[in-house]
A and B are shown apart, each in its own frame.
Chain A
Amino acid sequence: MFNLSRFRKKSPWILHYNAGSCNGCDIEILACLSPRYDLERFGVINTGNPKQSDIFLVTGPVTMRSRERIVELYMQIPEPKVVVAVGSCACTGGVFRGMYNVEDGIDRYIPVDVYIPGCASSPELIMDGVVKGLEILESKTKEIEKPKQLYKDEVVTDGIVDRSHMAQKVKK
């Protein structure tokens, strides 16, 4: 078969997840889809479903509640996938760095490909970041990408890979 990977950048589908943010970056992401900035001309659709998305847009510092969900959603996205951390909270923790209630940035839990700074980011920055993510997407393979914490390995029975129990809950 001819190389299909050049079509990956022609239709990137986004999963947008709010991991405890103040909604500022979320509003900016939604503004990207509005007529003025119009991400849809690149073929971008905001699906709400991890199984049908390529790009995982995460905003917000990771709160105690959302760390398991981030890993679970990350495992449900089929490879090749790209994680884009939007806003300074998602990159490094932002103004909340070092607080008791948040983890510092999402790259403690899942590997991040593109960091977009700003508080809140602007739509132009977000689009630049997404386009950069698309270039990285084109070179990714279909191996299972594992998160950094709260996971265990996939189970293989009779040659069938089962990744349904890879994400773990936090042990109390």
Chain B
Amino acid sequence: MAVKFLLILLVPLLGGLVYGLERVVRARMQNRVGPPLLQPFYDMFKLLDKQPIMINSYHIVFAIMHFITLWVVVAMIILGDNLLYIIFLHLLSSIFLVLAGYSVNSVYSHMGSNRELLTIVAYEPILILISVSFYMMHGSFSIDTIYEHHTTLPSMALLFVALLLIIPIKLKKSPFDATEAHQEIVGGVEIEFSGVFFEILYMAKGIENIFVYALVILFAGDSYLLAMVLCIGVFLLINLVDNATARVKVGDLVKIVLSLGLLLSLVNLIGLRYV
């Protein structure tokens, strides 16, 4: 129990480490050297040292709440709660981010929020279908039950592919990073944040990493080895795809993810029922 609390406290740290590792791996894939591993922490200290600038208090408060809610979501995953409820709580944190984007009178901010809402339309049904299929396999939504049983990967393979399809959306990586398209809308929602306030969003992105890998680990059941293999495999795959693909427009994003994702989930669920 104490281990779990320690883990919850260390979540932003872990998120930063994962993000740093990501930057190194991406650079090596591009035949570069890349920044040092602890770069996110250097970024954090530098951002804390800047003069704070903001537009109005609304967007700051919503950003802080987005960060705290995301931390609470990961804490609840570690403590083992109802998976469906956790996904809805994660929806709450995304809505906080959307509201933060809407609180500023800036075009790019609003475009980022609109796109964020559209991507929520794309990935939310698939996440809920994944938790429903866990329910059908184990009879309960509780995460503790999922960890006690053997891995469900063979019977939920198509759903795992659907999850792989939505991971780039959540981590804001190509080809589905229309939400934070740096070259297009200059960061979308993050545009009006600077200094310590941007640090909050930066750490929130790190925690989002941890959330996604926690979802991946769920497919491994009680086997630690398989969990590690899945995590490393997904990590490498995501970064490879990020380096190799271009960005998809947000309308096409919704169409592709929904049609493919719903089809895969539907086939898998029907299979679970009859096989």
| Chain A residues in the interface with B (C-beta under 8 A) | 4-5, 7-8, 10-11, 35, 38, 40-43, 47-49, 51-52, 54, 76, 78-80, 142, 144, 163
Cβ B39 vs Cβ A35 within 8 A: no
Q: Which one of B80-88, B157-165, B189-197 contacts A?
A: B189-197
B273 close to A (CB within 8 Å):
no
Cβ B35 vs Cβ A142 within 8 A: no
Cβ B186 vs Cβ A42 within 8 A: no
Q: A49-B191, A54-B46, A78-B195 are in contact. Are A38 and B33 (CB under 8 A)?
A: yes
The interface residues of chain B lying within 8 Å CB-to-CB of A43 are 35-36, 39, 42-43
Q: What's the least CB distance linking A124 to chain B, in Å?
A: 17
The interface residues of chain B lying within 8 Å CB-to-CB of A7 are 42, 45-46, 49
**What 1/0 flags go to B1-38 for Cβ under 8 Å of A?**
00000000000000000000001000100111111100
Q: Which one of B50-58, B117-125, B136-144 contacts A?
A: B50-58
Cβ B32 vs Cβ A4 within 8 A: no
- Chain B, residue nearest A53 (CB): B194
B187 close to A (CB within 8 Å):
yes
Q: A38-B32, A41-B35, A48-B186 are in contact. Are A11 and B42 (CB under 8 A)?
A: yes
Q: What's the least CB distance linking A116 to chain B, in Å?
A: 23
Cβ A51 vs Cβ B194 within 8 A: yes
- Chain B, residue nearest A137 (CB): B46
B198 close to A (CB within 8 Å):
yes
Which one, B34, B35, B52, contacts A78 given CB within 8 A? Answer: B52
Task: Report the Cα distance A76→B194, complex, angstroms.
Answer: 10
Task: Report the Cα distance A63→B258, complex, angstroms.
Answer: 48
The interface residues of chain A lying within 8 Å CB-to-CB of B42 are 7, 10-11, 43
Cβ B49 vs Cβ A4 within 8 A: yes
| Chain B residues in the interface with A (C-beta under 8 A) | 23, 27, 30-36, 39, 42-43, 45-46, 48-53, 182-183, 186-187, 190-195, 198
Q: What's the least CB distance linking B150 to chain A, in Å?
A: 43
Q: A10-B46, A41-B32 are in contact. Are A79 and B51 (CB under 8 A)?
A: yes
Task: Report the Cα distance A172→B16, complex, angstroms.
Answer: 50
Q: What's the least CB distance linking B43 to chain A, in Å?
A: 5
The 4 A-B pairs with the shortest beta carbon distances in the complex, nearest first, are A51-B194, A7-B45, A10-B42, A4-B49
Q: A49-B187, A78-B194 are in contact. Are A8 and B49 (CB under 8 A)?
A: yes
Q: What's the least CB distance linking B224 to chain A, in Å?
A: 34
Task: Report the Cα distance A52→B197, complex, angstroms.
Answer: 10
The interface residues of chain B lying within 8 Å CB-to-CB of A42 are 35
Task: Report the Cα distance A51→B106, complex, angstroms.
Answer: 13
Cβ A78 vs Cβ B36 within 8 A: no
The interface residues of chain B lying within 8 Å CB-to-CB of A79 are 50-51
Cβ B51 vs Cβ A41 within 8 A: no
- Chain B, residue nearest A38 (CB): B32
